[in-house]
Structure 1
Amino acid sequence: MTTERTEHTERKTVERTAPPLTGGERETLRAYLDFHRATLAMKCEGLTDEELRRRSMPPSTLSLLGLVRHMAEVERTWFRKVINGEDIPLVWSDEGDYQMAYDARTSTRAEAFDAWQAEVEHARRIEAAAESLDVTVHAARWGEDVSLRLVMFHVLHEYARHNGHADFLREGVDGTVGV
């Protein structure tokens, strides 16, 4: 769940579950991915569309909403295109330009979060259906074979990195730090 400060939207709270201190590799990867997904949502909690679109420092297009859009592309690419082999375009660029997702100047919370949540659900379904983390596919873009394990680690890395950006972006919007 996400929140938005408007006179028309009631405040909801993002729930975030701490990853297990013990557990198997797959369970731990799943839990950390969900933890970081929730962290990004929490960083956006309670902000208006305008605040979510606020750019870090022009000419950069980096914003909280841009990060949400980017992570939708990351989830879509790694799970649907790479692991599942789906021949689909990016969400925000038919030409495969990943930078388009960062430009959220005309985007809304609803548009970005709906796309992101849909891609997260696809990713969860694809991962759950895979026999093991050792499932390996050929990633044509790189001309290399990759495992589901590598994909999960990579997506986790993307979230961790961009949640660091989200920390600074949120603080710049309203002074909120930590989660």
Structure 2
Amino acid sequence: MKTIAVDMDGVLADVYRQFLNLHFQDTGEKLSLESIRGLKEAEAFPLLKKHVNSPGFFESAPLIPGAQATLKKLIPHYKVFIVSAATEFPLSLHEKLRWLNNHFPFIQWQQMVFCGSKEIIRTDIMIDDHFKNLDTFSGKTYLFSQPHNEIASPGKHIRVNSWKEVEMQLLPDKF
């Protein structure tokens, strides 16, 4: 059975919606996804460090539409691992674990990988929104579209804009 590494932030957890909401709460400025298209996350959100280091940021992030349903469909056909760089932000490790247990109760603890660099990950497929993780990966790669990567060429990676597109790529016989 082939293996898949699925990133969490920006792929399962809608951290962009979280950042937009918190930016508005802190500044009163309502940003749109279009207005930050092509900007790195730190450029788009000047208070990013404050937000990712605030209690509750990771645990309360909204779910990206379609993620749960598609992962449920992938599990009978692939060994799925959720891989998240959770050691960068001190509060994120426990919050991400609680978030996954809440939104993906069908994912077992053995399928959760919290790490620093994803260079060590050796699955057949990786789905991520950051080039830094995909570029060093030796398997098949899918770039999950987010504002920070939308205007960049996907290069050798296959761009997917939604979980429905992931499903169409990885379960083509179901369509």
Q: Normalising to structure 2: TM-score of the pair?
A: 0.26
- Between Structure 1 and Structure 2, whose CA radius of gyration is higher? 1
Structure with larger RCO (C-alpha < 8 A, sep 6+) = 2
Name the structure where strand makes up a greater proportion of residues. 2
Name the structure where helix makes up a greater proportion of residues. 1
